[in-house]
Amino acid sequence: MNRPMLSTALHVVGATRVTPRMRRITFAGPGLAGFASVAPDQQVKLFFARDGGVPAVPDPGPDGDVARWYRAYLAVPEPERPWMRSYTVRRHLPETERLEIDFVLHDHEGGAGPATRWAARARPGDTVWMYGPAASRRPAPPPETGWKLLAGDASALPAIGALVESLAPGERALVCAEVADAGEEQKWESAGDVEVRWAHTGGPGLLDTVRSAGLPADAPGYAWLAGEASLVRALRRHLMDERGLDRRTVAFTGYWRRHLTQDDALTEEDEADRTEAMRQD
């Protein structure tokens, strides 16, 4: 039986700049005593009040029925309904009952979204609501996996960092990541054997970086892809069509969509991605 997800208020207790365009916010709250990590790239839903106060979120109930809870959330009149966004937990610190979440401070066309605006000015005492954590629906690496490819844009860096830090001694990983410039590059500690290749906006992009990378031929591989949805699709097609990876070993998630927000309806391509992801369960 699946454990019901935690629904609790989170209070900001600290914030630091990881890079000029990424801010790490540390959260605390009495509910975090019950937080149990479920995966290195686990996600939570964060809720942001439209008036800048404390978001009002429906109670999920003791049985943790996600579908019923989501219907109750959608039933809240839109002017009062908190914005909901998905974020990767960068680090869970159980000894201090803290969560660290990294926010990319990007400014998409039409202005920054509500979560970005909130994160840019968040101060100790500010409150959001959290629902989670949940493991991704991506397929797990097969037991015979000999290496991993972790590829994504800036929005994928929190998950990539957590995955790199979770590697065991002897595990191999190639990281290909695209960021704005050298100032946005990050360093991670890992017990594994990790190679990192950076791409910068305006130069050869992430797809070209992955194309030019030599992938090991001495063992089966596993690819983890995340970032802007159309970029993830292109990476996935390249790995399956040109590199011959089995679709069951290519885990993928579109974190965001160019020119669209999480509140906008799914496109036909989004629906196709969702159908394919369900086939991998």
Q: Map 160-204 to HEC letters.
A: HHHHHHHCCCCCEEEEEEEECCHHHCCCCCCCCEEEEEEEECCCC
Cβ atoms < 10 Å from Cβ of 276? 14
Predicted local confidence at residue 66, as pLDDT:
86
Predicted local confidence at residue 43, as pLDDT:
94
Cα separation, 116 vs 256, in Å, equals 13
Pick the residue with more confidence: 278 or 130? 130
Q: Please give the structure tokens belonging to residue 242.
A: 């040109």
Cβ atoms < 10 Å from Cβ of 146? 15
> Does the pLDDT at position 110 exceed 50?
no
Residue carrying structure tokens 């709250």 = 29
Asked if 256 contacts 155 with a C-beta cutoff of 8 angstroms, the reply is: yes
Q: What are the residues facing 105 on neighbouring strands? A: none
Predicted model pTM: 0.89
What is the CATH topology of the domain spanning 147-279? Rossmann fold (3.40.50)
> Does the pLDDT at position 234 exceed 50?
yes
Asked if 99 contacts 27 with a C-beta cutoff of 8 angstroms, the reply is: yes
Asked if 161 contacts 90 with a C-beta cutoff of 8 angstroms, the reply is: yes
For residue 84, what is the DSSP state? E
- The torsion angles phi and psi of 204, rounded to 5 degrees, stand at -55, 130
Cα separation, 33 vs 156, in Å, equals 27
Extents of the domains making up the chain: 6-134, 147-279
* Residues belonging to the chain: 281
* Tens of pLDDT, residues 166-199: 999 999 999 999 999 999 999 999 999 999 999 9
Residue carrying structure tokens 């803290």 = 98
Strands 91-93 and 83-88: unpaired
> Does the pLDDT at position 61 exceed 60?
yes
All residues at 6 or more sequence positions from 90 whose CB lies less than 8 Å from its CB, including other chains: 24, 100, 101, 102, 158, 161, 162
Predicted local confidence at residue 1, as pLDDT:
39
Which of 144-153, 154-163, 226-235, 253-262 is predicted with the least confidence, judged by mean pLDDT? 253-262
Q: What are the residues facing 257 on neighbouring strands? A: 260
Predicted local confidence at residue 109, as pLDDT:
43
DSSP E strands: which ranges in the chain? 6-19, 22-28, 43-48, 83-88, 91-93, 98-104, 127-134, 147-152, 172-179, 193-200, 221-228, 250-256
* Tens of pLDDT, residues 66-83: 889 999 999 999 999 999
Cα separation, 210 vs 130, in Å, equals 35
What proportion of the chain, given as a percentage, has pLDDT over 70?
Answer: 88
Q: Please give the structure tokens belonging to residue 68.
A: 């019923």
Class of domain 6-134: mainly beta
